[in-house]
Amino acid sequence: MFGKKKKKSQIDQEQLQLIKNAQHRIKQKKRLFTHFVVFLIGAVFLIIANTVLGIGKDTKFFGINWFVFAILGWLFFFLYHLFNVFVTSKFMSKDWEEQELAKLVNKQKVRIEKLKTQIEKEDLTIAESEVFQEKNSKIINNLTIIVAAGEHNEIGKNNDLIWHLRDDLKRFKALTSGHHIIMGRKTFESFPKPLPNRTHVVISRQANYKAPEGVIVVNSLEDAIQVGKKDTQPFIIGGGEIYKLALPYASKIEITRVHSTFDADTFFPEIDTTLWKETANTFHKKDDNHEFEFSFMTYLRK
């Protein structure tokens, strides 16, 4: 069923021809050498046949023994053979050698060029993948930003929220419960008290920032991420400064887009759709508990 494929010869046809030519030429030279040896032995034999054995002793032409003509005739034939191998043979002429050499050199040049292009392509791919890795090296798996923002990315004013949306708060609670919630010092101070059932990680530049027991205070976002490392889904919950810092690290954004514009002093950074892909969108109408229309949207990093 899975018959083996016949292997295609890897030897180049031109190279093969060159090898065949070289073999042919070796044979030609061998034959010429054999001819020369046979000629020498034959010539000696003819001389002995005539002078020692007396064969055709009385046969002379123009007063010269017949074997001299025989040897001269053979010599002429040998010279013709020699001429054929070293002068007229296409395997021996200088032009042919140069042509073959030029072919070989050109072939190697083409191969070198191909290899160069291949190496350049590979270098480019490696460079691109290094740039890609560099660009993506900050991303933390499952680090999720959760935010509610107006149509112009408004998120707060005077260190407070600018709307009250019951279902948004419910969703915030449902998603973040049991997890680490990472926030800026100002957002933390906007809460009346720490939120239940969540590990608070507060970022502040202050060396001795005092927080209630159980609240973890760190001095950088990197330290906050480190604290939440074992969590399956740590959340960045704001505010504006921390969202901006955390966006390059996040792999997911849960955003409640409030479909209105607001007077605000704090904003969420623009979501770059070349980097982020919207994967979910649920619209929520205005009602007695919700003064504005809004949509729960999920973005995943591309």
Residues near ligand NAP, by CB under 6 A: 147-148, 155-156, 159-161, 183-187, 190, 203-206, 209, 219-220, 237-242, 245, 266
CA-to-CA distance for 79 and 147, rounded, in angstroms?
Answer: 101
Choice between 85 and 236, CB closer to ligand NAP: 236
Choice between 67 and 243, CB closer to ligand NAP: 243
CA-to-CA distance for 153 and 149, rounded, in angstroms?
Answer: 5
> Nearest-5° angle of CA 268, CA 273, CA 274?
130
Choice between 71 and 161, CB closer to ligand NAP: 161
CB atoms within 10 A of CB 253: 21
Distances in Å between the Cα of 217 and the Cα atoms of 31, 121, 140, 203, 238 are 96, 48, 20, 6, 15
The minimum distance between CB 190 and ligand NAP, in angstroms, equals 5
Six-digit token pair at 292?
């504005």
3-state SS record for 62-94: CCEEHHHHHHHHHHHHHHHHHHHHHHHCCCCCH
3-state secondary structure of 12: coil
CA-to-CA distance for 118 and 115, rounded, in angstroms?
Answer: 5
The minimum distance between CB 124 and ligand NAP, in angstroms, equals 36
Choice between 32 and 175, CB closer to ligand NAP: 175
The minimum distance between CB 271 and ligand NAP, in angstroms, equals 14
Choice between 113 and 189, CB closer to ligand NAP: 189
The minimum distance between CB 180 and ligand NAP, in angstroms, equals 15
The minimum distance between CB 266 and ligand NAP, in angstroms, equals 4
The minimum distance between CB 161 and ligand NAP, in angstroms, equals 5
3-state secondary structure of 98: helix
Six-digit token pair at 32?
């010429």
The minimum distance between CB 290 and ligand NAP, in angstroms, equals 15
Q: The dihedral of CA 187, 189, 192, 198: what is its sign?
A: positive
